[in-house]
Amino acid sequence: MEYTNLGRTGLKVSRLCLGTMNFGPFTSEPDSYAIMDKALELGINFFDTANVYGWKLGEGVTESIIGRWWAQGGNRRDKVIIATKVFGRMGEGPNDRRLSALHIRRACEDSLRRLQTDYIDLYQMHHVDRETPWEEIWQAMELLVQQGKVLYIGSSNFAGLHIAQAQHAAEKRNFLGLVSEQSLYNLNARMIELEVIPACQAYGLGLIPWSPLAGGLLGGALQKQNQGRRASDRNQEAIEKNRARLEAYEAFCAEFGDHPADIALAWLLHNPAVTAPIIGPRTLEQLTGSLRALEIKLDEAALKKLDEIWPGPGGAAPEAYAW
């Protein structure tokens, strides 16, 4: 396993991040335990979750599974850099969501209880909250850091503007601020190249791409068109919409000699702004297969071909659309 610093921090995390969103809804608890044990065995020390995962209002199903896995002992907690999130709706009340100081405090305490730990390594704002001032958000986050309940703060689904606003407000308070941004990023979703990636690089944030395989689209969708979730109407529509690109992509991968999913992950890993793509395996086989991406080297010719198949927005703003 390869390791890198999380943004500008001294924290070392694995180049692949284990996503746990499937734990509970699609992967049983025993199978989730097996996947997490195998991840540690493979050297993956960076796990991502969220208080809303499990999709049962207020229950924190996935966090609870991780907490019970840690409770088995074996120094499992000490071996994991855990990232969880706050923002989503966790109850029926008007203050049971978003980023008010009240909700941040309550949500953190609830996550700590479910995870059966006394600290969260990376506490991520799951979405920007345009209704809450940064002064309130940072005051609440600073308190959690001072209390030792949170070590680092990250964002998710922020625009470049939001990263700049957040960092400006944090700097005024002499606070470290954001150290990472978790964004939708893959060969078929490259909009963040305009402003989010430049903002991450300018402020020293590690980029953690979610949905690196575009919901399975980049994982050999044509070969597996009638299997599992790919058989859903929504995914069939996505396949038909992108059929020409998928045909070219899967032909390129066959010629290159590697699986489409591994090529997609390797493409993300070649970008120096990327800390660790989030892989969301439902099975042990999917987990172990992901490690191949760490070995793949894409030369300039391969990168150029991928750009031709999956064109981005043209680079960073404003040159992407102006002179």
Catalytic residue among 53, 123, 185, 203: 53
What Cα–Cα distance (Å) separates residue 77 from each residue in 16, 61, 97, 284? 18, 18, 27, 20
Taking alpha carbons only, the member of 18, 66, 32 closest to residue 291 is: 18
Counting every residue written for the chain, the total comes to: 323
Residue 260, CA atoms < 13 Å, CB-side half-sphere: 23
- Backbone CA torsion sign across 10, 11, 14, 19: negative
What Cα–Cα distance (Å) separates residue 160 from each residue in 130, 156, 165, 183, 207? 14, 11, 9, 11, 12
Residues 251, 243: Cα–Cα separation, whole Å = 12
Residues 80, 19: Cα–Cα separation, whole Å = 13
For residue 311, count other CB atoms closer than 10 A to its CB.
11
Secondary structure (3-state) at 249: helix
Q: Is 53 a catalytic residue?
A: yes
Q: Which residues is 209 bridged to in the sheet? A: 183
Secondary structure (3-state) at 226: coil
Active site residues: 53
